[in-house]
Amino acid sequence: MNERQRAQRPGGRSARVGAEVHQAVTELISERGYGNFTVGEVAARAGVADSSIYRRWGGLETLLTDVALTRLNTRSPMPDTGSLAGDLRTYAAQVAREITGPDGLAVVRLAVALSSNGQQGLQARDDLLAERTRQLQSMLDRARERGEHAPDAFGVVDHIMAPMYIRVLLGMGPLTPDYVDGLVDRLL
Protein backbone atom coordinates (compact mmCIF):
# COMPACT_ATOMS: atom_id res chain seq x y z
CA MET A 1 0.00 0.00 0.00
CA ASN A 2 1.47 3.35 -0.98
CA GLU A 3 1.30 6.60 1.04
CA ARG A 4 -1.65 7.98 -0.96
CA GLN A 5 -3.76 4.87 -0.32
CA ARG A 6 -2.85 4.91 3.36
CA ALA A 7 -3.84 8.58 3.72
CA GLN A 8 -7.30 7.90 2.26
CA ARG A 9 -8.05 4.82 4.34
CA PRO A 10 -11.35 5.31 6.23
CA GLY A 11 -10.81 5.27 9.96
CA GLY A 12 -7.08 5.82 9.56
CA ARG A 13 -4.91 8.60 10.90
CA SER A 14 -6.44 11.20 8.59
CA ALA A 15 -9.97 10.45 9.81
CA ARG A 16 -8.78 10.49 13.43
CA VAL A 17 -7.03 13.85 12.97
CA GLY A 18 -10.13 15.28 11.26
CA ALA A 19 -12.35 14.14 14.13
CA GLU A 20 -9.95 15.56 16.74
CA VAL A 21 -9.75 18.91 14.94
CA HIS A 22 -13.54 19.07 14.58
CA GLN A 23 -13.97 18.32 18.27
CA ALA A 24 -11.42 21.00 19.19
CA VAL A 25 -13.29 23.58 17.10
CA THR A 26 -16.61 22.65 18.69
CA GLU A 27 -15.16 22.90 22.19
CA LEU A 28 -13.54 26.27 21.48
CA ILE A 29 -16.79 27.66 20.06
CA SER A 30 -18.64 26.44 23.15
CA GLU A 31 -16.08 28.06 25.46
CA ARG A 32 -15.25 31.28 23.60
CA GLY A 33 -17.73 31.83 20.80
CA TYR A 34 -17.24 32.33 17.11
CA GLY A 35 -14.17 34.30 16.03
CA ASN A 36 -12.42 34.15 19.38
CA PHE A 37 -9.68 31.62 18.66
CA THR A 38 -6.96 30.90 16.12
CA VAL A 39 -5.81 27.98 14.01
CA GLY A 40 -2.90 27.61 16.43
CA GLU A 41 -5.28 27.21 19.36
CA VAL A 42 -7.34 24.62 17.46
CA ALA A 43 -4.15 22.73 16.59
CA ALA A 44 -2.93 22.78 20.20
CA ARG A 45 -6.30 21.56 21.48
CA ALA A 46 -6.41 18.78 18.86
CA GLY A 47 -2.77 17.80 19.40
CA VAL A 48 -1.75 18.39 15.78
CA ALA A 49 0.55 20.83 14.01
CA ASP A 50 -1.10 23.99 12.73
CA SER A 51 0.49 23.23 9.36
CA SER A 52 -1.71 20.11 9.22
CA ILE A 53 -4.79 22.29 9.53
CA TYR A 54 -3.58 24.74 6.89
CA ARG A 55 -2.65 21.89 4.54
CA ARG A 56 -6.04 20.17 4.89
CA TRP A 57 -8.41 23.14 5.23
CA GLY A 58 -6.42 26.14 4.04
CA GLY A 59 -7.54 28.38 6.89
CA LEU A 60 -9.89 28.90 9.79
CA GLU A 61 -12.99 29.89 7.79
CA THR A 62 -12.80 26.77 5.62
CA LEU A 63 -12.31 24.64 8.72
CA LEU A 64 -15.27 26.26 10.48
CA THR A 65 -17.45 25.73 7.42
CA ASP A 66 -16.40 22.09 7.24
CA VAL A 67 -17.22 21.57 10.93
CA ALA A 68 -20.66 23.16 10.59
CA LEU A 69 -21.58 21.24 7.46
CA THR A 70 -20.25 17.95 8.75
CA ARG A 71 -21.96 18.21 12.13
CA LEU A 72 -25.29 19.39 10.77
CA ASN A 73 -25.40 17.07 7.77
CA THR A 74 -24.38 13.84 9.44
CA ARG A 75 -26.97 13.97 12.18
CA SER A 76 -30.71 13.37 12.17
CA PRO A 77 -31.13 10.59 9.61
CA MET A 78 -34.53 10.61 7.94
CA PRO A 79 -36.80 8.20 9.78
CA ASP A 80 -39.18 5.83 8.01
CA THR A 81 -41.86 4.86 10.51
CA GLY A 82 -44.58 4.17 7.94
CA SER A 83 -46.50 7.42 8.46
CA LEU A 84 -45.78 11.09 7.91
CA ALA A 85 -46.83 11.98 11.46
CA GLY A 86 -44.50 9.32 12.87
CA ASP A 87 -41.64 10.37 10.61
CA LEU A 88 -42.02 14.05 11.50
CA ARG A 89 -42.28 13.35 15.24
CA THR A 90 -39.21 11.11 15.17
CA TYR A 91 -37.20 13.55 13.06
CA ALA A 92 -38.18 16.56 15.17
CA ALA A 93 -37.29 14.69 18.38
CA GLN A 94 -33.87 13.77 16.90
CA VAL A 95 -33.18 17.37 15.94
CA ALA A 96 -34.32 18.62 19.36
CA ARG A 97 -31.92 16.17 21.09
CA GLU A 98 -29.03 17.12 18.87
CA ILE A 99 -29.42 20.91 19.14
CA THR A 100 -29.82 20.77 22.91
CA GLY A 101 -26.99 18.25 23.34
CA PRO A 102 -23.48 19.10 24.52
CA ASP A 103 -22.26 20.46 21.16
CA GLY A 104 -25.61 21.42 19.69
CA LEU A 105 -25.78 25.09 20.54
CA ALA A 106 -22.16 25.66 19.51
CA VAL A 107 -22.73 24.11 16.09
CA VAL A 108 -25.98 26.06 15.57
CA ARG A 109 -24.22 29.30 16.51
CA LEU A 110 -21.37 28.44 14.17
CA ALA A 111 -23.77 27.90 11.26
CA VAL A 112 -25.49 31.23 11.97
CA ALA A 113 -22.17 33.07 12.27
CA LEU A 114 -20.81 31.59 9.06
CA SER A 115 -23.93 32.56 7.11
CA SER A 116 -23.23 36.22 7.78
CA ASN A 117 -19.51 36.00 7.06
CA GLY A 118 -18.90 36.59 3.37
CA GLN A 119 -19.31 34.48 0.28
CA GLN A 120 -17.85 31.30 1.78
CA GLY A 121 -20.25 31.52 4.70
CA LEU A 122 -23.19 32.09 2.37
CA GLN A 123 -22.11 29.06 0.35
CA ALA A 124 -21.94 26.98 3.55
CA ARG A 125 -25.46 28.11 4.45
CA ASP A 126 -26.74 27.32 0.96
CA ASP A 127 -25.09 23.89 1.00
CA LEU A 128 -26.58 23.11 4.40
CA LEU A 129 -30.08 24.24 3.38
CA ALA A 130 -29.88 22.28 0.13
CA GLU A 131 -28.87 19.11 1.97
CA ARG A 132 -31.55 19.52 4.66
CA THR A 133 -34.17 20.22 1.99
CA ARG A 134 -33.10 17.14 0.04
CA GLN A 135 -33.34 14.99 3.18
CA LEU A 136 -36.74 16.36 4.14
CA GLN A 137 -38.00 16.03 0.58
CA SER A 138 -37.17 12.31 0.56
CA MET A 139 -39.30 11.83 3.69
CA LEU A 140 -42.16 13.91 2.25
CA ASP A 141 -42.00 12.10 -1.10
CA ARG A 142 -42.34 8.74 0.70
CA ALA A 143 -45.43 10.06 2.47
CA ARG A 144 -46.98 11.18 -0.82
CA GLU A 145 -46.24 7.75 -2.34
CA ARG A 146 -48.21 6.23 0.56
CA GLY A 147 -51.11 8.54 -0.34
CA GLU A 148 -50.64 10.97 2.55
CA HIS A 149 -51.03 14.73 2.21
CA ALA A 150 -47.57 16.16 2.91
CA PRO A 151 -46.45 19.77 3.25
CA ASP A 152 -43.48 21.05 1.30
CA ALA A 153 -39.99 20.97 2.84
CA PHE A 154 -40.07 24.67 3.68
CA GLY A 155 -43.31 24.12 5.61
CA VAL A 156 -41.43 21.67 7.83
CA VAL A 157 -38.58 24.16 8.22
CA ASP A 158 -40.92 27.07 8.99
CA HIS A 159 -43.27 25.27 11.37
CA ILE A 160 -41.08 22.68 13.10
CA MET A 161 -37.38 23.42 12.70
CA ALA A 162 -37.34 27.22 12.97
CA PRO A 163 -39.23 27.43 16.28
CA MET A 164 -36.88 24.87 17.84
CA TYR A 165 -33.75 26.63 16.61
CA ILE A 166 -35.02 30.03 17.77
CA ARG A 167 -35.83 28.68 21.25
CA VAL A 168 -32.35 27.18 21.55
CA LEU A 169 -30.54 30.24 20.18
CA LEU A 170 -32.42 32.62 22.45
CA GLY A 171 -32.40 30.36 25.52
CA MET A 172 -36.20 30.28 25.69
CA GLY A 173 -36.67 27.07 27.63
CA PRO A 174 -36.43 23.37 27.00
CA LEU A 175 -37.62 21.54 23.92
CA THR A 176 -39.90 19.12 25.72
CA PRO A 177 -41.45 16.17 23.88
CA ASP A 178 -44.89 17.81 24.27
CA TYR A 179 -43.63 21.05 22.72
CA VAL A 180 -41.97 19.23 19.79
CA ASP A 181 -45.03 17.03 19.18
CA GLY A 182 -47.22 20.16 19.29
CA LEU A 183 -45.17 21.71 16.48
CA VAL A 184 -45.77 18.61 14.35
CA ASP A 185 -49.49 18.57 15.21
CA ARG A 186 -49.92 22.21 14.21
CA LEU A 187 -48.20 21.61 10.87
CA LEU A 188 -50.30 18.55 10.07
User: pLDDT, tens digit, for every residue of 81-95?
Assistant: 999 999 999 999 998
- Of the residues 58, 78, 101, the one at which a domain ends: 58
Domain count, the chain: 2
**Are 46 and 130 contained in the same domain?**
no
**Are 104 and 34 contained in the same domain?**
no
What is the C-alpha R_g of the chain?
18
Q: How confident is the model at residue 1 (pLDDT cuts 50, 70, 90)?
A: very low
Q: Report the CATH number at residue 102.
A: 1.10.357.10
Please state the pTM of the whole predicted model. 0.74
**Are 101 and 171 contained in the same domain?**
yes
User: pLDDT, tens digit, for every residue of 38-93?
Assistant: 999 999 999 999 999 999 999 888 888 788 777 766 655 789 999 999 999 999 99
pLDDT at 2 exceeding the cut of 70: no
- Of the residues 20, 37, 58, the one at which a domain ends: 58
Question: Could you tell me where the DSSP H helices lie in 79-156?
Answer: 84-100, 104-115, 118-145, 153-156
Domain that holds residue 87: 70-187
Print burial letters for 29-58: b (CB count within 10 Å at least 16), e (below 16).
Answer: bbeeebeebebebbbebbebeeebbeeebe
Residue 112 lies inside a defined structural domain of this protein:
yes
Whether 107 and 26 have beta carbons less than 8 Å apart is answered as yes
At residue 21, φ and ψ (nearest 5 deg) are -65, -45
